[in-house]
Chains A and B, each alone.
Chain A
Amino acid sequence: MPSAADLAWLIPVLPLFGAVATGLALISFNSTINRLRKPVAVFLLTCVGAAAVLSYAVLAEQLAGAPVVEHLFIWASAGDFSLPMGYVVDPLGAVMLALVTTIALLVMVYSHGYMAHDKGYVRFFTYLALFSSSMLGLIISPNLLEIYVFWELVGMCSYLLVGFWYDREGAAHAAQKAFVVNRVGDFGLLLGILGLFWATGSFDFQGIADGLAAAISTGSVPGWAALLLCLLVFMGPMAKSAQFPLHVWLPDAMEGPTPISALIHAATMVAAGVFLVARLEPLYSQFPIVGLVIAVVGTITCFLGASIALTQMDLKKGLAYSTVSQLGYMMLAMGCGAPVAGMFHLVTHAFFKAMLFLCSGSVIHAMEDVVGHEPILAQDMRLMGGLRKKMPITSITFLIGCIAISGIPPLAGFWSKDEILGQAFISFPLLWFVGFLTAGMTAFYMFRLYFLTFEGEFRGEDKAMQAELMAAANKDTDEEHPHHAGVLHESPWSMTMPLAVLAVPSVLIGLLGTPWNSRFAALLNPEEAMEMAEKFSWGEFLPLAGASVAISASGISVAVLAYYLHRIDLSQLIAARFPTINAFFANKWYLDAINERLFVRGSRKLAREVLEVDAKVVDGVVNLTGLLTLGSGEGLKYFETGRAQFYALIVFGGVIALVMLFGVLGNPLA
């Protein structure tokens, strides 16, 4: 009987099979398959479910101490070069497999409710299966080039899903932006991969690390070049994991359906960058400067995300910037040389952020019955409020998520975030301080979201506010929305069940990673876990943890005072007093504007100028050279008067005559 690890190749193949089958059916028998919603959903759930079962089996084996399994085959070759592909199962991969399949399954169940009225229901499920397959393939990739393959494929799935509602202008732009920004990152990643192959002759993680160390010691690769290659590779994770300054695509990507925001843009794909950095640990640990760069980028991202999240009025955008900020924490951990801490935060964050996004989806779903299917209205918190009474399950799970992400013990976020801050305190105290401040901001903006959405009075019927919001977005208010004018209601079981399921790990999973007995670290890196447990002392742990809890608590208190008890008015207290800072945050640090001016318009202008040159200079010069002037001028005149095909025959005949002539002349000469 083969072990689960030997069958691990099936984990991405099963969802792929499902996606290809429904995809082909969609193309060939569109209307038929679109009527078979339930069977398709059950079929694809079975595919992903089977992958999940296998993933759990793999994880169980790894927990029981099974060795790392790697299988390779030759994928392409030329000359004496050959390119192996295959799959590898190790503890890191096993954790990610279980995580991704779990969340993918729950999101699929949720989507059954969320997308129930959408015409693209079957297409949506197909994309979900395709994404799951690519993401799972990425996790079990044994080398950098194979990672790149799946890296781009998850990017394509993200493109398809962000642009899922293709008749929305915003979605179209967001999808393109996501793909192009990610390609910019992949540009660096690909160059890095190629350069590392050049330097080491390997695509394999360990092979690259060993090869590069050897190449530096023999002097065949200069140190600065090795450093450059490492940083180029890091551009990939920067784009995928939305790190400053390549984070700009992620908030826009919220144009996609909310289940996608939960699965791809919070829990799995955006974490792929962090995962890749963890995979590259043997390489990056050789270069302290790379670690520093990663840590600084992570810290900037962490602070930037939180600061923009402070002012967001769109519920999903708020959560999106929160994701940016949390991804920054993970990168900070990676930069501090603590991949286990980063991965732990990745796992806990995946659960509670997926839950938060699904809660926001549940809210939007309910809001759409009141204000219509216009995202400008359905997602704006100025129209929400008081939803707790109508949507008890959603509000409780959202609150659990808020507590978890704010870092209140014993919920999940506390353990993982505190671990990162502890590591940062040792490695880079300055960065720790920024991360520490951000923790307070996190607690504040999360509870701000909670209070604005779920507490107070419901403001959804405020027509004046609706009109104002539509006007601010330059949209036509008179546009007919399919308007139910219904009442708020809790979402169906298919949507609340995943919320309830996700709430369990959001509360409990942190306990697997307590610093004195970290089961998580024991799986990924047993030596580090032993060391952590030995070195653990309450005297060191309590002050730092206490400080973290204290700043979170003060963040929450400010939010309570401002948005629940309405004792302080922040708009007067802060926004009015420091208008520049407020505008700076509200305009997302002006990065989108810079981007638009510099790159978007710049590239358009350049392209137009090149075309001008092509049409006037290149074409002109080539046309003018030699006989062509005569030929084209005369030829054109001739053609306009008639009988075109004769000309071709003349050309053809002339050439044949030339051939004959040369032939006759040629033979005697030879």
Chain B
Amino acid sequence: MDANLSLTAVSDTTFPWLSLIVLLPALGALIMPLLPGDATDPKASNTTSKPASQAPRNLALVFLGADFLLMLAVFSRLFDSREAGLQLVERVNWIPFIGLEWSLGVDGLSCPLVVLSGLITFLAVAASWNVQSKSKLYFALLLVQASAQGLVFLSQDFLLFFLAWELELVPVYLLIAIWGGNKRLYAATKFILYTALASLLILISGLALALSGGAFTLNLSELANRSATGNLGLLCYLGFLIGFGVKLPMFPLHTWLPDAHGEANAPVSMLLAGVLLKMGGYALLRFNVQMLPDAHLILAPALIVIGIVNIIYGALNAFAQDNVKRRIACSSVSHMGFVLVGIGAIDALGISGAMLQMISHGLIAAAMFFITGSFYERTQTLSIPNMGGLAKVLPITFAFFLASSMASLALPGMSGFVSEITVFLGIISQDGFTSLFRSITIVIAAIGLVLTPIYLLSMCRRVFFGPRIPALAKVEDINPRELTIGLSLLVPTLVIGFWPRVAIDLYEASTNALAERLVSHSVVALNPLLPVG
């Protein structure tokens, strides 16, 4: 097949580095059953495990740590961020019978998210230090999850992408269903039903595109070059939007998220917020924007409207939640609204802001969930009304929680500010929308900036401030391991906040190319909903 397309820049690599990045964690999962200890088969979760074997955890740490270092090494050496197209491309015919290719490639859209998910998964394992029950299965699932999510971000073949997308549901489902809270089965079922049924729409839309308009192909770049128009394009766009919108999550498909977060343990929440939601945003960019630019130009205003609904609705919901993790989950809904608005802005600034918001939210939300998990291990409650005065006993935990709350409420000097301001600038500099539409969008989104400190700081106040000494036995404050995890999440937030080019340089070429592509299409398809203002 000819890969010499405008979106595809094949660079010859002698070694399949991307495959190694994807498969290394899976290899760890395969070794897991060979470890001495409890069960014979990691999938057989009903066998009771003997406690105190640390080998599974250490194995997962080693493999994910190595994988993360490998990512850093490969991308810093071989990835050229000035290049907009795909790099390090690998294409092997895998199952020719159904046209499935093992096709990987990395560009500015995937590179930062792969690194982000690598970091967060590694830290999630480190945060699972004290998981004892069925530990071999637990860590094997985390390793499988790491491979699956890498494949989602790197896959350049639709079927491969889809398989990875489905594959990653299984570990998350099991992680919630086995290690979650009291209502874990309800939450896990809701999660899998939402996402699995939504993926049917993804599959149908993808196959419809593959089958239409010329030779059957599943290669993403070729599909993008075809850029389906008309009703087919619109329908597929909607299919993708709902499919990926569930993951993002997008109003009104978000209700699985508070349940999932409320029941999942903290490391799994870190994965959910730090990686899974990002898949939704990434896929929107890769499929809806890159593959269906004409439909995107038509439906972008709808994305913006849903985005601002997300921002306000999520914030109001968060304010009413009485559970720390559910409140943070709703705040995720609010923050991911900025991703939708940025994508809907259809210009370089907006898309850049959406990318940065994904990276930033991944770090910040993971930090918040991690710290929540850290004090939950000590307080055994997440109910805000039952807490108070925690700062007295856990001052460092308090400092971390406050710092991540500040990051989350878009305090300048932290990454959330840069991404949200970029989204704002993206909207106002989009001359394709009428002035009224732009004004209303910014005003409502800015109201979100007022609501965020209200629900976050009132949570800080009710949990940490105040004279009441909680009914705790003498507990130790944060330990060095937790300190390191917290800093690993917050230091990048600060670095990006002070010097955003660190992150922006990675993806700028790709997002600019994406925006230029949209501009070239807008000549053909002027937005019928909004006259040029």
Interface positions of A (Cβ within 8 A of B): 26-28, 30, 75-81, 145, 148-150, 152-153, 156, 159-160, 163, 166-169, 171-173, 175-176, 179-180, 183-184, 186-187, 190-191, 194-195, 197-198, 603-604, 606-608, 610-611, 614, 618-619, 621-623, 627-628, 631-632, 635-636, 639-640, 644-645, 647-649, 651-652, 655-656, 658-660, 662-664, 666-667, 669-670
Contact = CB atoms under 8 A, between A and B. Distances in A.
B337 to A, nearest CB: 14
B282 interface: no
22 contacts: A27-B399, A27-B487, A28-B483, A76-B422, A77-B508, A81-B429, A149-B412, A149-B417, A156-B411, A167-B465, A173-B461, A195-B428, A195-B442, A603-B319, A628-B197, A631-B197, A635-B193, A648-B174, A655-B196, A659-B98, A667-B99, A670-B215
Contacts of B465: 163, 166-167, 169, 171-172, 175
B429 A30 contact: no
B446 A667 contact: no
A263 B499 CA distance: 29
Given A166-B464, A167-B391, A656-B166, A183 B320 contact: no
| B contacts with A: majority SS | helix
Contacts of B126: none
Nearest to B498: A75
B511 interface: yes
Given A610-B313, A610-B317, A632 B166 contact: no
A149 B256 CA distance: 35
Given A187-B446, A660-B98, A666-B98, 14 more contacts: A75-B500, A75-B501, A81-B429, A156-B411, A180-B454, A195-B442, A603-B319, A607-B317, A610-B320, A611-B321, A614-B313, A640-B185, A658-B200, A670-B210
A611 B347 CA distance: 34
B130 to A, nearest CB: 22
Contacts of B349: 78-79, 81
B457 A632 contact: no
Interface string B163-193: 1001101100110011000000110111011
Given A27-B399, A618-B252, A666 B177 contact: no
B348 A78 contact: yes
B185 A148 contact: no
B411 A664 contact: no
A76 B189 contact: no
A636 B196 contact: no
- Can you list the 10 inter-chain pairs with the closest CB atoms, starting with the nearest? A670-B216, A79-B348, A663-B98, A172-B465, A611-B320, A149-B412, A607-B319, A78-B352, A607-B320, A619-B255
B100 interface: yes
Nearest to A148: B412
A628 B442 contact: no
A622 B348 contact: no
A179 B199 contact: no
Nearest to A155: B411
| A contacts with B: majority SS | helix
B511 A78 contact: yes
Given A614-B317, A652-B167, A669 B216 contact: yes
B2 to A, nearest CB: 16
Contact of A655 (B203, B402, B499): B203
B173 A648 contact: yes
B51 interface: no
A286 to B, nearest CB: 21
With most chain B CB atoms within 10 A of its CB, the pick from A79, A622, A662 is A79
B17 to A, nearest CB: 27
A79 B166 CA distance: 35
User: Looking at chain B, what size class is its interface with the partner chain?
Assistant: 35 or more
A622 B447 contact: no
Given A167-B389, A662-B203, A30 B396 contact: yes
B466 interface: yes
A173 B466 CA distance: 9
B443 interface: yes
A632 B353 CA distance: 37
A630 to B, nearest CB: 10
A628 B189 CA distance: 11
Interface of B: 43, 45, 97-100, 159, 162-163, 166-167, 169-170, 173-174, 177-178, 185-186, 188-190, 192-193, 196-197, 199-200, 203, 207, 210-211, 215-216, 251-253, 255, 313, 316-321, 347-349, 351-353, 389, 391-392, 395-396, 398-400, 402, 406, 411-413, 417-418, 421-422, 424-426, 428-429, 438-439, 442-443, 446-447, 449-450, 453-455, 457-458, 460-461, 464-467, 477, 483, 487, 499-501, 504, 508, 511-512, 515
A639 to B, nearest CB: 5
A25 to B, nearest CB: 12
Contacts of A149: 412-413, 417
Given A78-B352, A171-B465, A636 B170 contact: no
A466 B37 CA distance: 68
Contacts of A666: 98-99, 207, 210-211, 216
Contacts of B197: 627-628, 631
B76 to A, nearest CB: 21
Nearest to B204: A662
Contacts of A648: 169-170, 173-174, 177, 192
B320 A198 contact: no
Contacts of A75: 499-501
B174 to A, nearest CB: 6
Contacts of B162: 659
A176 B458 CA distance: 7
A636 B392 contact: no
Nearest to B389: A167
B185 A644 contact: yes
A604 B317 CA distance: 10
Contacts of B166: 652, 655-656
With most chain A CB atoms within 10 A of its CB, the pick from B316, B443, B499 is B316
A554 to B, nearest CB: 44
B178 A644 contact: yes
Contacts of B317: 607, 610-611, 614
B348 A168 contact: no
Given A78-B422, A607-B316, A662-B203, A166 B391 contact: yes
Nearest to B469: A167
Given A156-B406, A176-B458, A183-B450, A606 B316 contact: yes
Contact of A658 (B178, B203, B461): B203
Nearest to B313: A610
B461 A172 contact: yes
A534 B185 CA distance: 84
Contacts of B428: 194-195, 197-198
A631 B98 CA distance: 29
B98 A30 contact: no
A168 B174 CA distance: 44
A76 B425 CA distance: 12
Contacts of B211: 666, 669-670
A77 B396 CA distance: 36
A603 B454 contact: yes
A191 B192 contact: no
Given A611-B320, A652-B166, A663 B100 contact: yes
Nearest to B253: A622
Contact of A169 (B45, B347, B402, B466): B466
A628 B193 contact: yes
Contacts of A145: 421
A662 B319 CA distance: 45
Nearest to B165: A655
With most chain B CB atoms within 10 A of its CB, the pick from A163, A621, A649 is A163
Nearest to A664: B98
B232 to A, nearest CB: 15
B398 A631 contact: no
